Amino acid sequence: MKAYFLTLAVLFLLGGFLVLVKLISNHFRNKQIISPERMRNRELAEAIVGKKIDWNN
């Protein structure tokens, strides 16, 4: 019975770790999508950033 609970605990920890890795990877992917340098619409990029962007740099 103790091995059963130990197996469940390991499975929950492994699942939690996988969910955490997935959340972190989604966060970095979303940051790349929102970055103003990758946006085609300059006005939208400036509105999201909240300041004027020097596009010549």
Cβ neighbors of 45 (< 8 A, separation 6 or more) are 36, 39, 53
- In this predicted structure, what is the pLDDT of residue 31? 74
- In this predicted structure, what is the pLDDT of residue 30? 76
Q: Which two tokens stand for residue 1?
A: 């019975």
Q: Which two tokens stand for residue 9?
A: 């605990």
pTM (predicted TM-score)? 0.52
Q: Per-residue pLDDT tens for 13-55?
A: 999 999 999 999 988 887 766 665 566 677 777 788 888 877 7
Cβ neighbors of 22 (< 8 A, separation 6 or more) are none
- In this predicted structure, what is the pLDDT of residue 19? 96
